[in-house]
Amino acid sequence: LEVGPARIFRQFRAPQGRREQVMPLANYFKTRDGRWIQIHTAIGQLAPALGRPELAEDPRWADFKAAREHGGELVDTMDQIFGTMTYAEITPKLEAAGIRWEPVQTMAELVEDPQAHAAGCFVEVPAGEDNDQVQLQAASPQTFYDELTPVNPALGPPPRIGEHTRE
C-alpha cells in the first residue's frame, strides 16, 4: 500500500478543484467581504445553520452518494449563500450549529493567532548581531533527539547578503 498526495491504493487521482471534491462540504467558501472559510460538515447540519433548511431535503445531495454525484451544484449553491453574508455574519451561525470551520488566514493574521503561538508554531530569535531586538521565526516541524532529550538547532537571524558567498 502506497499512500501519497495523489496515490491511494495504487490508483492515481488527478488534482481536484473545489467543485470536484469527494466531500463537497469539506471545502472552502468565500464570504461577501472576501474572507475565505474552510468547513467540514454535512448538508443536514449546514442548511439549517444558514437559514436554508429546505436544502437538506434536496434529493441531489440528500445522501453521500447523491452529494458526490452533484457536488458541483452543491458547491455552487453554497458559494451563492456564503457570498450573501459577511465573515462576521456567518461565523456565529457556524459556531452555534457546532460546525467544524476555520478561517483561511493571511500571514499577518496567522502571526497574531493565539492558538498558533500556544501550539509553538513560532519562536523569537535575535533580529541581528548588532541590536537587541527579536523577530518571529517559524518553528521547525521536526524535533531531533539525543536519546530521549530533544535537541534542536539554534535559531537565529537569516544570513546577511553575501555572508556565505566564499563558503
Q: Measured between alpha carbons, how far is 16 from 18 in angstroms, rounded to an integer?
A: 7
Task: Tell me the percentage of the chain whose pLDDT exceeds 90.
Answer: 49
Q: What is the pLDDT of residues 110-141, one digit of tens each?
A: 989 999 989 888 888 877 766 678 888 887 77
Three-state DSSP state, 116: helix
Confidence of residue 17 (pLDDT cuts 50, 70, 90): confident
pLDDT at position 76 is 97
C-alpha cell at 103: 478561517
pLDDT at position 146 is 76
pLDDT at position 99 is 96
Q: Is the pLDDT of residue 5 over 60?
A: no
Q: Measured between alpha carbons, how far is 46 from 73 in angstroms, rounded to an integer?
A: 15
Taking all residues of the chain, what is their mean pLDDT, rounded to a whole number?
Answer: 85
Q: Is the pLDDT of residue 161 over 70?
A: yes
Q: Measured between alpha carbons, how far is 156 from 5 in angstroms, rounded to an integer?
A: 32
DSSP state, residue 154: P
Q: Measured between alpha carbons, how far is 115 from 99 in angstroms, rounded to an integer?
A: 19
Within 13 Å and on the Cβ side, how many CA atoms surround 122? Answer: 15
Closest CA to 136 of 95, 163, 159, 108: 108
